[in-house]
Structures are given as C-alpha cells and as structure tokens.
Amino acid sequence: MKLKVFRYDRESGDSRYDTFELDPSPGMTVLSALFKIQEEMDDSLAFRYSCRGAVCGSCGVLINKVPRLACRTRVESLPGGEGQVKLRHFPGMEETVSWDPKEEVLVESLPNLVKIKDLVVDMDKFFEFYRAVEPTFKPASEAPEKERLMDPKAVSELEQYTNCVLCASCVGSCPISGKEEEFLGPAALAKLYRFHIDPREAEDDSRLLLANDKSGWWGCEFNANCKAVCPKGVPPILGIGKARKEIQKLGKEPK
Amino acid sequence: MHGLRDELKKLMFEYFGVFREGKKMEEGLEKLLELKARYPEVYIDNKSAVFNQALSYALELGGLFDIAEAVARGAIARKESRGSHARTDYSDRDDENFLVHTIYRLEGPGAEGKPGGKPVLEYLPVRLGKFPVKERAY
Ligand code: SF4
Ligand code: FES
C-alpha cells in the first residue's frame, strides 16, 4: 500500500508530494501509518495528534479528498473506494496531484485553513470564530444550592451538537468557508445553536442574533458537506436551518 | 532516536511492569543506566525550525529517561505490594513502612555541570481523608 503525503514548509514556501510504501497491519489507521513513516522513514514529517482515539479533534486531515480524523480512518478501508463520501464541490476537492485511488491513499492538510508544515494547519482562525460565538454556558439564574438540573427531554437534541470535538473537518469541507473569509463556519455556528437551545440558558434571542448576518446563519448555502464529513455525527446544517426559521418567525431577518 | 525509545519502552515493560521483583529490578536499573548513557548520542536529521516533531521527541526522550529512573529507584525501594506495584518478593501491603509518598529528586549539579545530580529518595506522609486505611478486598 502506498501513502501519498502532502509536504509543505512555511519557511521556504515549497510544497511537494512524497510517496511512502508500507505494509499495513490489520486495523492500522492513517494516524498509525503516519507514525510509522515518521519513525522509520522520514522524521521531518509533521502532523498533529493527541488522544489517538477520536476525542481530541487534533488529527483532522484531508484523506482521499475527504476531511477526516486520521486516528479514526482505517487504511485498509480506503483503496478501492470503500467509505467514499459524496461531497459538493469545495476548494480541497480540486485535483492537486495525480494519484491512483485503487493503490494509493492521498493524505493532505485540511483545506480552508492556512498551512504551516506538511499536514499541520494554523487553527487560529478556527478558534477565533469559535470564540466569536461566546461558546461558554451563560446560566439564566443564580447558581442553585445543588446542581443545575437538565431536562432529559432536551438532551437528545442538544447532544447532537455537544459531541463536536473541534476538529475543523467541517470547515475544511465547506464551500462557503472556502470563499468567504468572514464566514463563521459550520462548527462555530453549530456551537452557537447548541447554546441557544440549552434549556438552562435564558430564553431570549440574544444568541440567535449574534450571528444574524451573512457571516453567520445567512452565509450558509446548504451544501451539507459539514454533516457528511463530521466524524462525530454533528449536523451543523440542521442547526443553521432551524436558527434561520426561528429568526424568520421573529421577523428579524437581516436586510 | 526512535530505536533508543523503543528499547526504553521494552526495558521498562519487561523489568518494571506490573509484576516486579527485587533482583530483576536491580538488573533492570543497571540496564536502564546503560541505555541512558547512550542518550547524549541521539541525533536527528530534521533541522527545520517549523513544527519540528523529531526535535520534540528527542527532548522528550531525555525526560523519559529521568522519569524511568525515578520509577525504577522508587519501585526498588518500596518493599511491599500496593495497587499496580505488585512485588512477587513482597506480596503484602506494608502500611507501617510504606503508607507514604515517594519523593524523588536530583541533588546538586550533574556531571560536568550539566543538569542531573545525585538521585535522592525521600518519603512524605500521606494525608488521609475520610476513608480508613485497609487492604483492598478486590
Ligand atoms: S462539527 Fe464535526 S466536523 Fe465540525 S469541528 Fe465539530 S466534530 Fe469536527
Ligand atoms: S488524535 Fe485525537 S481525534 Fe485523532
């Protein structure tokens, strides 16, 4: 099996693709393959990781033109197209290098984010947008003596969005994030929606109105790539759609 | 570099895994110190100033050797079994002598003024909370 890996160096600005041959052990993930390359073939290869178990969100990369977590993607499943995901056109999809999907696994850095080194991208912008939606719990009432109770009925809806691990796969796959510099992007909007529907927060529209413009809810064109690539099953597109409906009902659509 | 790290992993697993035994650990410590002596020879090909993971692994490996030595010396001195420190030569828990925290530090400068120094083991009392001290029954 061959891994064709994107290489980039911010210092020189040079980029290229390197091909590495390896014998995948059963169940080997793309992340373990990258470790193997780094340890045995080329110690200059750079990539991010931490938990190795799909909970930290550090290892988001573009694999065979689909943004995925390297630690959750098995190498064997890739050649020949198993696990293919159909996506609407986004910048990362364009052909960057010729590769043979039957024999090679193509690993590149996440699109729509500034490149630093090889598979490592600058996450500053992602987290800037994340901070912009004020992603912390703002309780409606004073702290109770014991715990703040959660309505179990609200959990299933809420959970869909709280599962996000901030891997930026959705942002990497989003056609709008690719063309609109200021668009908050699927992850941040999903997070904003998650706090808006949290029953422990105040029942007002302040959260909704925080993104009531083209860089927020109204920038989305419902391509649905975000939902298709999310490794945690988060549906940003659904939250965005619901937020828009609510705003329409309020009659507060932006001009 | 990765070769040395692998050797360290194997050594620690074999000599300082869950089941431990005094003589074997002494032997393990000796081997560990031999391995550690090779650390200054570590080199890396990667000279990049950007996201140089080879460099961070190499620096981390130095830390791993220090930690491994602390584990080894602490385990050898703790002549009892407690939790996942299971000694085949001292299979009982000994609260009289070892209901204490092991403190490990390096005293004075290392060889040729480098960081390091003489390993020193000390013990601090355990501050007991609400739960009485007793052997685990599971
Ligand atoms: S919504 Fe999904 S794809 Fe987007 S950052 Fe969160 S976990 Fe990653
Ligand atoms: S390494 Fe944490 S999600 Fe992949």
Ligand 2: distance of its center to the CA of B38 in Å?
32
Chain A nearest-CA residue for B54: A43
Pairing relation of β-strands B100-107 and A15-21? unpaired
Task: Encode B78-102: b = buried (16+ Cβ within 10 Å), e = exposed.
Answer: bebbbeebebeebeebeeeebeeeb
From A9-23, A116-130, B11-25, B122-136, the region with the lowest mean pLDDT: B122-136
Question: Helix A186-196 and helix A152-162: axis angle, to 10°?
Answer: 170
The stretch B95-113 carries a mean pLDDT of 89
Lay out the sheet containing A2-8: strands in order across: A15-21, A2-8, A104-108, A60-63, A66-69
Q: Are B48 and A118 a contacting pair at CB < 8 A?
A: no
Among residues A131, A136, A130, A194, which one has the least CA distance to residue A160?
A194
Tens digit of each residue's pLDDT (9 = 90 or more) over A209-225: 999 999 999 999 999 99
Q: What is the pTM of this model?
A: 0.88
**ipTM field:** 0.79
Residue A202 has pLDDT above 90, yes or no: no
The stretch A154-165 carries a mean pLDDT of 95
Any B CB within 8 A of A11 CB: yes
Residue pairs between chains A and B whose CB atoms are closer than 8 Å: 35
Domains and CATH numbers, chain B: 2-125 (1.20.58.100)
Residue A5 has pLDDT above 70, yes or no: yes
Please give the pLDDT value at position A182.
96
B124 min Cα distance to partner chain A (Å)? 33
**Other Cβ atoms within 10 Å of A201 Cβ, number:** 16
The stretch A126-144 carries a mean pLDDT of 93
Pairing relation of β-strands A104-108 and A2-8? parallel
Q: Are B51 and A46 a contacting pair at CB < 8 A?
A: yes
* SS3 per-residue string spanning A81-117: HCCCCCCCCCHHHCCCCCCCCCCEEEEECCCCCCEEE
Ligand 2: distance of its center to the CA of A167 in Å?
8
Tens digit of each residue's pLDDT (9 = 90 or more) over A66-83: 999 999 999 988 876 666
Tens digit of each residue's pLDDT (9 = 90 or more) over B39-61: 999 988 888 899 999 999 999 99
Domains and CATH numbers, chain A: 2-120 (3.10.20.30), 123-250 (1.10.1060.10)
> Distance between CA atoms of A200 and A190, rounded to whole angstroms?
17
